[in-house]
């Protein structure tokens, strides 16, 4: 478990090799066990109300947990970027960008001292804030959980550009690079969104594309 040092914990610095890969070529990394706030869903993220609610719930709870951690234990941390696991019955749906066929688990990384009790308290804090403001609580709060994820050996690359321009890179990974290196799929496609999509031009978006793998 991470011990308090007085420094603000930032997963992007603690695991730089996972959050700052090269944009030039694929690289193999070993992803350790990590924990995340997580919500599952299905459908096109551009049109799904459930997706919007999931992202809002994740960050609302992430900030509530952060502030409580700093207040109660003196341990502060930077709220991590949004991440997502994506899959479909037909993996070709990713290359074809058939977003309506996608299932997803949206994630926000948490330090290893954050446990289920802290997350439950964070959820209740967000609910209480909505009640005070006389607004309905986000229904996605009921779906939020603390997920422990160990992806192990994975291949990743930094994609710079629009999300819809990821397809050629994924096709090259799936159809060329992995077969050439004797690797097979061993988990869901994983994306880490390093840029704020609302404030960044599509051609400048920075996204880590990761695929857990195993030897054939």
- 183 within some domain: yes
SS (H, E, C) the chain: CCCCCCCCECHHHHCHHHHCCCCCCCEEEEECCEEEEEEEEECCCCCCHHHHHHHHHHHHHHHHHHHHHHHHHCCCECCCCEEEEEECCCCHHHHCCCHHHCEEEEEEEECCCCCHHHHHHHHHHHHHHHHHCCCCCCHHHHHCEEEEECCEEEEEEEEECCHHHCHHHHHHHHHHHHHHCCEEECCCEEEEECCCCCCCCHHHCEEEEEEEEEEC
Q: Would residue 112 count as lying in a domain?
A: yes
19 within domain boundaries: no
How open is the CA angle 137-141-145, to the nearest 5 degrees?
Answer: 165
pLDDT, residue 96, reads 73
Q: What is the reported pLDDT for 5?
A: 52
- Tally of structural domains, the chain: 1
pTM of the model as a whole: 0.93
What's residue 136's pLDDT?
87
* Residue 42 maps to a domain: yes
pLDDT at residue 90, rounded to an integer? 79
CATH code, domain carrying 121: 3.20.80.10
Tokens of 102: 């996608």
Query: Is 176 part of a structural domain of the chain?
Result: yes
| Range of the structural domain that residue 66 is part of | 27-215
Task: Give the Cα separation of 161 and 47 in Å (integer).
Answer: 21
115, part of any domain: yes
Q: How far apart are CA 208 and CA 83, in angstroms?
A: 9
Q: 79 vs 11, 58, 66, 113, CA distance in Å?
A: 9, 11, 7, 14
Mean pLDDT per block of 10 residues along the chain (216 residues) reads 69 97 96 98 93 97 98 97 93 75 96 98 95 87 98 98 93 96 97 94 96 98
In a domain, 4, yes or no: no
| Residue 209: C-alpha distances to residues 151, 159, 179, 194 (Å) | 13, 7, 18, 11
What's the confidence (pLDDT) of residue 148? 98
């Amino acid at each position: 478990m991470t011990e308090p040092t007085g420094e603000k914990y930032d997963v992007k610095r603690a695991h730089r090799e996972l959050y700052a890969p090269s944009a030039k070529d694929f690289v193999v990394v070993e992803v350790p066990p990590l924990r995340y706030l997580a919500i599952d869903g299905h459908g096109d993220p551009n049109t799904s109300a459930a997706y919007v609610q999931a992202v809002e719930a994740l960050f609302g709870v992430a900030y509530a947990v952060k502030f409580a951690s700093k207040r109660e234990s003196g341990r502060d941390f930077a709220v991590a970027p949004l991440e997502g696991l994506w899959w479909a019955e037909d993996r070709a749906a990713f290359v074809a960008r058939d977003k309506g066929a996608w299932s997803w688990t949206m994630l926000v990384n948490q330090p290893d001292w954050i446990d289920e009790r802290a997350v439950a308290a964070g959820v209740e804090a967000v609910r209480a804030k909505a009640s005070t403001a006389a607004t309905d609580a986000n229904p996605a709060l009921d779906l939020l959980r603390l997920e422990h994820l160990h992806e192990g050996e994975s291949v990743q690359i930094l994609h710079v550009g629009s999300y819809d321009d990821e397809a050629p890179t994924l096709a090259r990974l799936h159809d060329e690079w992995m077969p050439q290196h004797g690797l097979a799929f061993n988990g869901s496609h994983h994306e880490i969104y390093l840029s704020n999509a609302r404030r960044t031009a599509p051609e400048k978006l920075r996204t880590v594309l990761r695929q857990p793998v195993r030897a054939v």
